Amino acid sequence: MAHYRLYAPSSVEIKVNAIEEQPASAKSQEGTQTKSDSADNQQRSASATTHWQFLAAQTNETMTANMEQSAYPTQSGIPGRCDSAITGHRVELQLLTTLKCNLKCSYCSLGVGDVLGSQQHVGYELDQLERFVSTHLAGKEIYATFYGGEPTLNLEFMTAVMRLFPLFRFQLQTNGTLLDNVPDEILGRLSNILVSVDGGEKITDRYRGRGIYRQVLRNLGHVRHLTGGTVTARVTWSDPDTSFADIDELTRTFDYVYFQFVADEKYGKDALQKRRAVLSELIARFFANNDAIYPVIPLMGIVRNKILPNRAQELYAGMTQCRASTHLVNVMPDGKIFPCPDMMYLPAMQQGDVTGNWLRPSPLQAHTDMPCGDCEALPWCRGNCMKNLYLAYVTKDERYRRNVVEPICALIRFIGEVIDSYAPGDWYAKLSPPLRRELTDCEVYEYVEVMP
């Protein structure tokens, strides 16, 4: 998953405990954000602060009461509440190696609540992690994702975890700027690398810093032959001017491309129309032939879910496809566990602790106030981002619902409608068995949310 900033506050009332201050200068950073971008971000930050402070306080105050209503009626066939800490037989152990980062992406959610940079080092011992895994995750198929901050700033920890748990699968989510520093031992053990970009060169550099796009591709070229698994572009679709060419170009460099609509107020004016036009081109390209799978994960996953609806439920025991509800254990460097990395600033969201060796069900659950049960997309969407749904419909943030969640849901329904116009069942019937397996069983589905 990428970090998404709800708004861009300069301060917030609810904060996590800071262990260390982030250093003033960042290591190994080639690109720097332009002055104009910085000024734009500061202006947006100032305008949103008051609203965010209110929302953060309201969320903590109402969360406990809302937990009692966190269930869809089971008779309606809507995904229900998860009453066990882990649903199903798989679990993603997402280990934040540090909250320090060498970039300053303008939309980063870890900037909320002073999370970013607050914990630079892992504060628990490996034997405590081993005890936690044996106590709460025994018998599960475990894949560990190294996350941050920028996880490659703590290669020592990554190496130690890989050696401690030889049976795990491993994934790395990285901004890619330090990939050329990652040891061969780590690269060879990774089943997938998620590399965060924002589309094409111009847009990526606007959000991440001048020269970052080319630096990432150069680094990827240096290590690609050493990687043991797939490499996936993790696109945060923030800019309405992101083009079909921007995304299509990534399919030539990466094994797969995953995009997710940014959880920010980026859907005004003609932004929805522009995104629909790009989506239409992407879907047309997807169905253009039957001799290869166009490797864009949201399109692959939605087509799969429409053709084989059971696949939308298998990994999640019929629950929402958002892993934050079912089988994502998101461990901060200090050992505290939260269901969603975008909500680590909210103490009431804590669901466990490695050092204390406890784990409870995720507080981010389906809720009677969420409208998913009446949505025509439910059979194949199975619920989108639970953080988005929670903020919009449980905490009653009308601004967020109107400006973020409803536009994203409209785009997802649009994707479904356009896919249906291509008769996906007829297209699937013409695929060879290997291509069918790629569509139905792609391992990358386990590492992202599928729904954009």
Structure confidence by residue, pLDDT tens digits, 180-193: 999 999 999 999 99
pTM: 0.82
User: Would the pLDDT of 51 be above 90?
Assistant: no
Burial of 179 (0-12, 13-18, 19+ CB in 10 A): buried
What is the rounded radius of gyration, in angstroms, for the C-alpha atoms of the chain?
21
Residue 54: which of 403, 402, 407, 396 has the closest Cα?
396
Mean pLDDT, range 73-89, rounded to an integer: 60
> Chain-centre distance of CA 134, in angstroms?
26
Residue 19: which of 131, 140, 120 has the closest Cα?
120
Residue burial 359-390, b: 16+ Cβ < 10 Å; e: rest: bebbbbbbbeebebeebebbebbbbbbbbbbb
Give me the pLDDT at residue 319, please. 67
Structure confidence by residue, pLDDT tens digits, 35-50: 444 444 444 444 333 3
Give me the pLDDT at residue 119, please. 76
pLDDT confidence bin for 23, thresholds 50/70/90: very low
Percent helix, percent strand, percent coil in the chain, to nearest 5: 45, 10, 40
- Give the contacts of 47 (CB within 8 A, at least 6 positions apart): none
Structure confidence by residue, pLDDT tens digits, 261-303: 988 888 998 999 999 999 999 999 999 999 999 999 999 999 9
Residue at token pair 């895994």: 133
Pairing of strands 230-237, 256-261: parallel
What mean pLDDT value characterizes the chain? 83
Handedness of CA 364, 370, 371, 373 (dihedral sign): positive
What backbone torsions phi and psi does residue 364 show, to the nearest 5 degrees?
Answer: -85, 90
Give me the pLDDT at residue 61, please. 54
Comparison of pLDDT for 246 and 31, the residue scoring more = 246
pLDDT confidence bin for 407, thresholds 50/70/90: very high
Kindly state the helix (H) or strand (E) to which residue 95 belongs, with its residue range. strand 90-96
Domain range 39-447, its CATH number among 3.30.565.10, 3.20.20.70, 3.40.50.620, 3.30.470.10: 3.20.20.70
Estimate the crossing angle of helix 155-164 against helix 126-136, to 10 degrees: 50
